[in-house]
């Protein structure tokens, strides 16, 4: 069980997490000047705050991965998504830790 306000354990990404990645792809491309051909969610952790922070490992090509932090507002506040952080040049075995 995660610590109150802490991140969950790492789990395999599902369709819902892929939808979040799909929605954030263009924002990620704009932030780092890349044009992603592949942008597939593999693993994630989440943190429930006044909304939800998602820390997502995204496969972006061959053996390359990016780590994203995406904040989702509460449904009563619109439930919108915002890319709040991105780390590039990661590998599959790099730990998924908050940054």
Task: Give the domains, in start order, of the chain with CATH numbers.
Answer: 11-90 (3.10.450.10)
Q: Who contacts 45 (Cβ-Cβ below 8 Å, separation ≥6)?
A: 7, 8, 9, 10, 11, 54, 55, 96
Identify the pLDDT of residue 5: 77
d(CA 8, CA 1): 7
What predicted TM-score, i.e. pTM, was given to this entire model? 0.93
Query: Tens digits of per-residue pLDDT, 86-96?
Result: 999 999 999 99
Identify the pLDDT of residue 2: 53
Identify the pLDDT of residue 3: 60
Q: Give me the chain's average pLDDT, please.
A: 95
């Amino acid at each position: 069980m995660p610590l109150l306000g802490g991140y969950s354990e790492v789990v395999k990404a599902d369709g819902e997490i892929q939808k979040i990645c799909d929605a954030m792809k263009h924002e990620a491309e704009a932030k780092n000047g890349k044009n992603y051909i592949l942008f597939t969610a593999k693993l994630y952790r989440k943190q429930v705050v006044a909304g939800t922070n998602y820390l997502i490992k995204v496969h972006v090509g061959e053996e390359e991965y990016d780590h994203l932090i995406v904040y989702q507002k509460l449904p009563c506040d619109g439930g919108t998504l915002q890319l709040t952080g991105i780390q590039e040049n990661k590998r599959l075995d790099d730990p998924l830790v908050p940054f």
